[in-house]
Copies of this chain bind each other. A is one copy, B any other.
Amino acid sequence: MSTGTDSGVKVEIHAPDRADEIRDAALTLFAELGYRATTMRAIGQRIGLRGPSLYAHVVSKHDLLVEIMVRTMDDLLAGYRAMSRESDDVVDQLRLVTEAHVRYHARHQREAFVGNREVRSLEPHAQKVVVGKRDEYQREFVALIQRGARQDRFRVQTPKMAAFAVLGMGIEVASWFRDSGPIREDAIVRQYGEFALRLVAAQ
């Protein structure tokens, strides 16, 4: 066991066991084909197992989706909190949390794609949990922009709309960013941080 950084957040790194391998294979296929179109057989095939063998390590296909989506939202929330603690200045905070948001979506495209596409594939209870976390994440951005507006550092009429615009442009990075493309991850992250400040007309 050791610790590493990802989006600036300390995360546990441990030797990947079978369950982790399965989750990773599932994530790849859920992103490529969609949850419904992915079969347990295909997930097994990616790691040299037969479909039924997976059930020694995971509860069900649905449970794989839940674990993936809960982890995604927890990582985003942890990234937000870590970054907002880095500064007391609301302008810096908005830049930092936007950068973390965009970096996550550039680096974790599979998670972002599945998270946005498969919410409706979750059973009602799991959906409530995941949507709750997503709403919490969104509310953090809204509250931050409201704070900035109250301090007269941001010029926005509706903090909610500005927050959703910042979140939305960042989410879409997951759909077009390619590691092999001409635009570097750091360039995107910095540029979108700047875009966020422009959006709220930061003073």
A168 contacts across to B, CB distance below 8 A: 168-173, 175
- Interface residue SS majority, chain A: helix
Residues of A with Cβ closer than 8 Å to B? Answer: 32-37, 116-117, 120-121, 157-158, 160-162, 164-173, 175-176, 183, 187-188, 191-192, 195, 198-199, 201
CA distance A166 to B32 in the complex (A): 26
A34 contacts across to B, CB distance below 8 A: 34-36, 120-121
CA distance A58 to B33 in the complex (A): 25
**A201 interface neighbour in B166, B170, B176, B198, Cβ under 8 Å:** B198
Asked if B161 contacts A191 (CB within 8 A), the reply is yes
CA distance A34 to B173 in the complex (A): 22
